[in-house]
Amino acid sequence: MDRDRILLTPGPLTTTLRTKLAMLHDWGSWDADFNAVTAGVRSRLLDIVHGQDTHVVVPLQGSGTFSVEAAVATVVPKDGHVLVLDNGAYCKRAGKLTQMMGRRVTIVAFAEDAPVSPAVLDEHLRSDASITHVVLIHCETGAGVENPLAEVAAVCERHGKGLIVDAMSSFAALPIDARTVRFDALIAASGKCLEGVPGMGFVFVRKAVLDGCAGHSQSLAMDLHDQHQYMEKTGQWRFTPPTHVVVALAEAITQFVEEGGQPARLARYAANCATLVAGMRQLGLRPFLKPEHQAPIIVTFHAPEHPAYDFQRFYQAAKRRGFMLYPGKLTTVDTFRVGCIGAIGSLEMQQAVNAVGETLREMGIPTAPA
């Protein structure tokens, strides 16, 4: 093949040549030049959420889940009570990690095929005054549902509860404005809609909240308060930073701005999603979600109801054609997922549809409009 395989996943993603080239140089982790890159990344991240006046951003080594765990451990005191709105696999992960950190947890479960309900949240907050914080997954990529961030934030603000948002798969694509949506912490990562490479998360924390978080975290490495204090004092990371990931992210943010920022990125991903869904329907493959619940990030499709279908065979055949798909993550039905994000456009999405059609026919599975 004359190009890398296209990653149709929720991350890692297909990246541009410019982003790849940014990683060709070595950097000293305590050097002033690298510290300037880190400072620039932090400032531009705050610009994306319009959070310069109200929030700080604290970067952290590791996958996005590291940063979710760090945010909960830092923001929620040891005697806090966290309500997790659960409509999918990543909500369940947030509930599990919160429980493992010794915080009291209440899980409010919803169906996997619809958004969480702000009205139900309101009822729980009215009936249980001990709840201190709410965790929301903005885009639950287990199914691809977009959850109502602004409405949930309004309920939390009305009740005086802290909101922790996992925006891993939505940040830089779906609109998030710290001036109008109140949150205590919001977590994202380098290898998602900013189209960098994986290896670094970052947490936006309300300044007034972070100031009171000393001693909350039981982890040395994941203490965002300490990480922020050290970075503000020295300009450096406390522990060895992922230097190549940081400079790749800096280059990816430059391209994000050149493209037109969040509105332009959302428009491209929405066009990708529309091309994908329309093409897959022509092959007889139905989306799991109703259109009004679908975020343009990743689409879950019902697996073909045919005895010849096997996901691993399906995956390998699509991979040979240059496209890497994603297994389903639902508990109720057999599905697979196709991502709409990364440095790709509608042309690549149509090529992916064509590859899926060829793969199904190779497996002896009929294709016809759904």
With tokens 């391209």, the residue in question is: 255
Task: Share the mean pLDDT of the chain.
Answer: 96
The pLDDT assigned to 1 comes to 44
Residue 206: count of CB within 10 angstroms of its CB: 20
The pLDDT assigned to 3 comes to 72
Chain centroid offset of residue 8 CA: 14
As a whole number, mean pLDDT of residues 62-72 equals 97
Domain 17-258, architecture per CATH: 3-Layer(aba) Sandwich (3.40)
pLDDT category at 39 given cuts 50, 70, 90 is very high
As a whole number, mean pLDDT of residues 355-364 equals 98
**pLDDT (tens digit per residue) in 288-309:** 999 999 999 999 999 999 999 9
8 A C-beta contact, residue 147 and residue 85: yes
The pLDDT assigned to 2 comes to 54
Instruction: Say whether pLDDT at 330 is over 90.
Output: no
The pair of three-digit structure tokens given for residue 109, joined into one six-digit string: 């479960």
The pair of three-digit structure tokens given for residue 356, joined into one six-digit string: 């899926």
User: What is the CATH number assigned to the segment(s) 6-11+261-362?
Assistant: 3.90.1150.10
As a whole number, mean pLDDT of residues 121-134 equals 98
Q: Give ∠ CA 318-322-323 in degrees, rounded to 5.
A: 55
The CATH 3.40.640.10 domain(s) of the chain lie at 17-258
8 A C-beta contact, residue 148 and residue 127: no
The pLDDT assigned to 214 comes to 97
* DSSP β-ladder status, 335-339 and 298-302: antiparallel
8 A C-beta contact, residue 56 and residue 229: no
Instruction: Say whether pLDDT at 331 is over 70.
Output: no
The CATH 3.90.1150.10 domain(s) of the chain lie at 6-11+261-362
CA–CA separation, 361 and 23 (whole Å): 40
Assign residue 235 a region (left: φ > 0; alpha: ψ between -120 and 50; beta: otherwise): left
CA–CA separation, 176 and 180 (whole Å): 9
The pair of three-digit structure tokens given for residue 285, joined into one six-digit string: 């493959």
pLDDT category at 332 given cuts 50, 70, 90 is confident
The residues, any chain, with a CB within 8 Å of residue 60's CB and separated by 6 or more, are: 66, 67, 70, 200, 201, 202, 203, 222, 224, 227
**pLDDT (tens digit per residue) in 137-158:** 999 999 999 999 999 999 999 9
How large is the greatest C-alpha to C-alpha distance in the chain, in angstroms?
63
